[in-house]
Structure 1
Amino acid sequence: MATRKQARKQTLIQVLALLIAVVVIVVAVVLFQSWANNRPGAHPEDIRVTASVGEESIEVAPYLVCMPGTECPEGEVPNLYVGEDETLNLELPDDISRYQWQVLSIYDNPAANDETLHGPGETNTVEIPGSVDPIEASDSEDRPHLMVVEVSAVLVGTDDEGEEAPFSSVWSISTMSDEELANQESQ
């Protein structure tokens, strides 16, 4: 009989050890998930979008970041030339792509301009052609050439009091040649 009691005791200890291990794992997962959901993200002015054409790549800082209803100081617009047969690739960090965001592609023919809306978590990359097919309603046979691309989103940041607040954020990229930039500046 002593062996039967020892076997039951050993089985009970194993079951208790297993239960304790399961409880510890569940508590760790719940605590990690709570931490991950409540940790502060980067402030919108610190978030960068990566733009690339072929082997050339740049990090793009926000052009505008402000709380709705306030005046937005304008930032710098970097230039990354995109040729007619090239494609501009944008890679957005999770701090943007987990929210709703949009891309505005502006061509030298306004009829070719395009805006695409992306839902939260839908994608974090976008490809934009350097030129598109001629517009049927246009008198010109020229292919409209990409001039500017803007990514915009309303993101959560912290205000001056440390409280969470919405921020309108825009990342702008010029895609013109040096000649087009010179013409633009002279006008």
Structure 2
Amino acid sequence: MATPKKARQKALLQFLTLLVAVVIIVVAAVLAQNWWNNRPGPQPHDVTVTATNGDAQIEVSPYIVCEPGLECPEGDVPNLPVGPDDTLVLDIPEDIHDHDWQLLMIYDDPAANDQQFHGAYDTTSVEIAGSVDPVNEGDPRPRLMVVEISSAMIGLDANDEETPYATVWSLSTMEEGDTLTEPDSPESP
């Protein structure tokens, strides 16, 4: 049989072993949480929005990404045709919907243009009708022509320092042969 002194030593050794294990687990959890919270997110130019119309689906890259106050080079605007009876679905990634962002819908009748402001985490997907009710009764239904998503994002500048970026995703929904004209231009009816 073990003497009382050896039993106390064994119990103390077990307690110290358990204490060291708990400390190691707590330190590992704190370090993992710190890494998770401070890991770099994607650069603004790498964030894409998924646009779907029926069976057609495309990834929309930013049209404009620039630091505020600087000249912004424009990118390409992809096209996903949306008919007047279709519904465009935009899936907004968490890198955009985890803070405030806005949606602009431009129609072939400027009176029908609409803008929506969204807060953080209030929506992850948006459905937009291909046409809306006319402003004046008897007028044709205004057709969706362009959709833009705007968001301020944080990215790294040329010096690898965090800086804000104005980021805009733009999508044309015009079908072949459609044109977006200014109301005062000679081509307008």
Q: TM-score, normalised by structure 2?
A: 0.84
CA distance in 2, matches of 1:68, 1:162: 17
* Alpha-carbon distance change, 94 to 2 in structure 1, aligned in 2, over 3 angstroms: same
Identity rate of aligned residues, in percent?
55
Q: Using the TM superposition, give the Cα deviation of residue 155 of structure 1 relative to its aligned residue in structure 2, in angstroms.
A: 0.3
Q: CA deviation at 1:74?
A: 0.8
What is the CA-CA distance between 1:162 and the residue it aligns to? 1.3
Structure 1 CA distance for aligned equivalents of residues 166 and 88 of structure 2: 24
Of residues 11-20 and 99-108 in structure 1, the stretch that sits farther from structure 2 once superposed is 11-20
* Residues 130-150 of structure 1: per-residue CA shift (max 9 Å, x gap): 112222xx2543222111100
1:142 corresponding residue in structure 2: 140
1:161 aligns with 2:159: yes
User: Whole-Å Cα distance in 2 between the matches of residues 6 and 115 of structure 1?
Assistant: 77
Q: For 1:82-138, what per-residue CA distance to the aligned partner results, in whole angstroms no more than 9, with x for missing partners?
A: 112211111122222222111111112222222111122332221111112222xx2
Quote how far apart the aligned CAs of 1:12 are: 4.9
| Secondary structure at the counterpart of residue 133 of structure 2 | coil
RMSD of the TM alignment (CA)? 2.4
1:100-179 alignment to 2 at 5 Å? 100-135=100-135, 138=136, 140-179=138-177
Aligned to 2:184: none
Give the whole-Å Cα distance in 1 for the aligned partners of 2:123 and 2:3.
62
Correspondence 1:25 to 2:25: yes
Decide which structure has greater helix share: 1
Residue deviations 1:43-97 (CA, integer Å, cap 9, x gap): 1112111111111101111111110000101111111011122111111222222
Q: What residue identity is the alignment partner of 2:156?
A: T
- In the alignment, what sits opposite 1:40? 40
Instruction: Answer with 60-69 or 93-102: which moved more.
Output: 93-102
Equivalent in the alignment of 1:76? 76
What runs of 5+ residues in structure 1 fail to find an aligned partner? none
Deviation at 1:26, TM superposition (A): 2.2
1:54 aligns to 2:60 (yes or no): no
Q: TM-score, normalised by structure 1?
A: 0.85
| Count of residues paired in the alignment | 183
- Unpaired stretches in structure 2, ≥5 consecutive residues: 182-186
Change (3 A) 1:3 1:89: farther
Partner of 2:159, secondary structure, is coil
